[in-house]
Chains A and B, each alone.
Chain A
């Protein structure tokens, strides 16, 4: 095709083709690597399949089994919600406080920021290692400290206690995300115009009062963003619990003590690759999770967003 004929054709469809053409690479990649797998895994969830043998179509039986006859899935759902309930509020409150404090620091601001963001960029495997060392029953530093100080007579079996395990996982998430929350809050604080604070000062507002009535409301959008994204990532909680229970070694325990640390994604991985090879069933878990995330994201947005933004 010569350049001139291309030019004459271009005249016919005019400038309208350019947006399509330029968005095509993204759309194609998206369709190939995102949309297709999403649709395919829905189709898969309607089959009984181990990945290798012939698939057999079973309609919505996987979903029925999952929601009515799989106590472990319901438990994993509760566990995930409980742990989210533990770490989301704590990270929000601590992140905001830390950001406020750091923001008003005169010296050492950069240092504090860097220190707090470090955990966020540490690989999850290292975090899992660190925490399982810290809370090891026999040799863990926490138990050594508590017994030395005399608070405990014998080491506490943190990782094999229902609430102990959940609390440690929540702690891992808080520790990892705190720096990120802090940075986002600090970014929000820089946008708040200084004259608002000056006006408040003139009106006699100080300290906590200013924080409560000016800083917090003006950071509301940031909070909404953080809540919604942490709900989404919270439902996908997997790295922390998996790595805490020996994810780097061969004899990994699935689910923690009495499955009290089993999260939805862990259950998904266990069904597809560890205990079983049920790809169809695992897809049903993935799709159920997708719907749950959708539902909870909308709910958390409605609950936290400012009134005028809600429809």
Chain B
């Protein structure tokens, strides 16, 4: 009897212990974050008042947390960075760009895990800037001099107050990748300069496209779809279209839409949606002449979808000027405990001559730092990793000399993502609906934006 009672008591005790254990485990998980955070505070460089660039790299220490989707880049770059800054530890978490902002918001809202170095991909950059979570890099402890970066980049890394809050991961001036074999077959040349001379304006582009369509019997068209054409057309219209809560779509989109529908009516556009399987496979098939492409596109866009197409491709500038495509801004979380160390990493990886040289040679990324293009001329002119794929054309020089001078910056806005999502929803409908016109399209665009952009006035 006594034994039984004791067993009962013991089991009760066990239950209590297990419960305590469970709760302690829960609590323990939450606590884990804070000690590491505080230890990195202690480890952060003492000299936070002076300009960090002049501090002795070997003396700087701390743990910098980075969220990036490109693991290969970080693995390579961190090894290079640690050669100069052996005591700064950089921890990378791989985060999918599609979930990036969502994860970041949840992290900040719940007060849990937030990286010190934050990446803003073009798709959500305006929204990220609007959240006011990135530190002003022109202020202490960074004291970044914005005149050192390529001028057109400034709007892409500034918030609505005009403060520079990020640096560019890589320049993203865009031209058109084109099929050399098709150009030679139908236009008699595959030389970029000669092709650029054929299409100085969009009207010439349409005329040339109509000719191409007729010559090929409709087998080869200019662009794979409305989405590709619009990237260039909208991208060339650099004017700001957002003023506070006023969105001026008419000024921004009227002209691009008119040209888009001219092309569509001329029958020189395919019926593919961007990034669909059919669109991807069209590159290897040689059904379309042009694909808008920025430097990152050589690897991720063209070579990725046409792996056997080495030598088939070329790069030419767009009619009527340059535009940009994609791009990622890199900033520092304003409540970061290791601002100096984070800034040292950003400076090294994206701005310094040594980091940029490694970045360029290994990944083809082009820094926004002006000085790099003066001091490293030989490197730019040497063959890059994808030059051979593009028929031996020097891509970096072409981007820098032919396209960058024509590019202006486009101010970022929180409404960019709404406008993009409206366009993504509408252009497949225009592709399908033969009766849509530029006017009806603009009206529809404005109506749809009205529904989605809460509290904004749209014209």
Contacts and interface: CB of A to CB of B under 8 A. Distances in A.
Given A251-B424, A273-B102, A7 B277 contact: no
B451 A51 contact: no
Interface stretch (A131-139, A191-199, A202-210, A231-239): A131-139
Contacts of A10: 9, 12
Nearest to B18: A25
Contact of B424 (A6, A71, A253): A253
Prevailing SS type, chain B contact patch: helix
Nearest to B128: A277
Interface in B65-96: none
Interface string B227-239: 1000000000000
Contacts of B451: 70-72
B22 A250 contact: no
A178 to B, nearest CB: 26
Interface in A82-102: none
Nearest to A1: B13
B429 A160 contact: yes
Interface residues on A, range: 35 or more
A51 B431 CA distance: 37
B305 to A, nearest CB: 13
A290 B218 CA distance: 53
B22 A25 contact: yes
A277 B452 CA distance: 12
A254 interface: yes
Given A7-B5, A157-B432, A253-B425, A275 B132 contact: no
A161 B12 CA distance: 64
A50 interface: yes
A270 B101 CA distance: 13
B421 A275 contact: yes
A253 B105 contact: no
Interface stretch (B51-59, B267-275, B403-411): B267-275
A10 B8 CA distance: 10
Contacts of B131: 50-53, 277
B428 A139 contact: no
B378 interface: no
B269 to A, nearest CB: 13
Contacts of A258: 425, 429
Contact of A138 (B123, B272, B454): B272
Contacts of A72: 451-452
B101 A160 contact: no
A51 B109 contact: yes
B29 to A, nearest CB: 12
B150 interface: no
Nearest to A15: B8
Contacts of A51: 105-106, 108-109, 131
A275 to B, nearest CB: 5
B139 interface: no
Contacts of B101: 273, 277
Interface string A274-305: 11111101000000000000000000000000
A276 B418 contact: yes
B452 A275 contact: yes
B98 A250 contact: yes
Interface in A1-43: 3, 6-7, 10, 18, 21-22, 24-25, 28, 32
A3 B6 contact: yes
Contact of B276 (A3, A18, A157, A246): A246
A153 B12 CA distance: 76
Contact of A278 (B227, B271, B425, B454): B454
B9 A7 contact: yes
A279 B109 contact: yes
B3 to A, nearest CB: 13
Given A52-B108, A71-B451, A274-B417, A254 B278 contact: no
A21 B12 contact: yes
Contacts of A256: 425
Contacts of A132: 276-277
Contacts of B109: 51-52, 279
Contacts, number: 118
A32 to B, nearest CB: 8
Contact of B432 (A7, A160, A278): A160
A3 B10 contact: yes
B13 A139 contact: no
A52 B105 CA distance: 7
A257 interface: yes
B428 A22 contact: no
B127 interface: yes
Q: Which of A22, A53, A249, A277 has the most CB of B within 10 A?
A: A277
Contact of A246 (B13, B15, B105, B275): B275
A186 to B, nearest CB: 37
Interface string A247-277: 0011111111111000000000010011111
A249 B424 CA distance: 13
A256 B429 CA distance: 10
Contact of A52 (B133, B227, B276): B133
Contacts of A139: 277-278, 281
Given A136-B277, A249-B275, A257-B429, A28 B452 contact: no
A237 B324 CA distance: 37
A275 B414 CA distance: 9
A25 B424 contact: no
Given A24-B19, A53-B131, A249-B275, A275 B13 contact: no
Contacts of B272: 138
A255 B428 CA distance: 12
B371 to A, nearest CB: 33
B132 A251 contact: no
B107 to A, nearest CB: 10
Contacts of A50: 105, 131
A257 B448 CA distance: 12
Interface string B359-374: 0000000000000000
B1 interface: no
Nearest to B26: A32
Contacts of A22: 15
Q: Which 9 A-B pairs have the closest CB atoms?
A: A138-B278, A51-B109, A51-B105, A273-B102, A139-B278, A157-B432, A7-B9, A160-B428, A249-B275
Given A138-B272, A249-B275, A273-B105, 11 more contacts: A21-B16, A22-B15, A25-B22, A52-B133, A132-B277, A137-B278, A159-B428, A160-B428, A250-B275, A253-B424, A275-B418
18 contacts: A6-B9, A10-B12, A21-B16, A25-B22, A50-B131, A52-B132, A132-B276, A136-B276, A137-B432, A139-B277, A139-B278, A159-B428, A161-B432, A246-B275, A251-B227, A257-B425, A277-B131, A278-B454
Interface of B: 5-6, 9-10, 12-13, 15-16, 19, 22-23, 26, 97-98, 101-102, 105-106, 108-109, 123, 127, 131-133, 227, 271-278, 281, 417-418, 421, 424-425, 428-429, 431-432, 451-452, 454
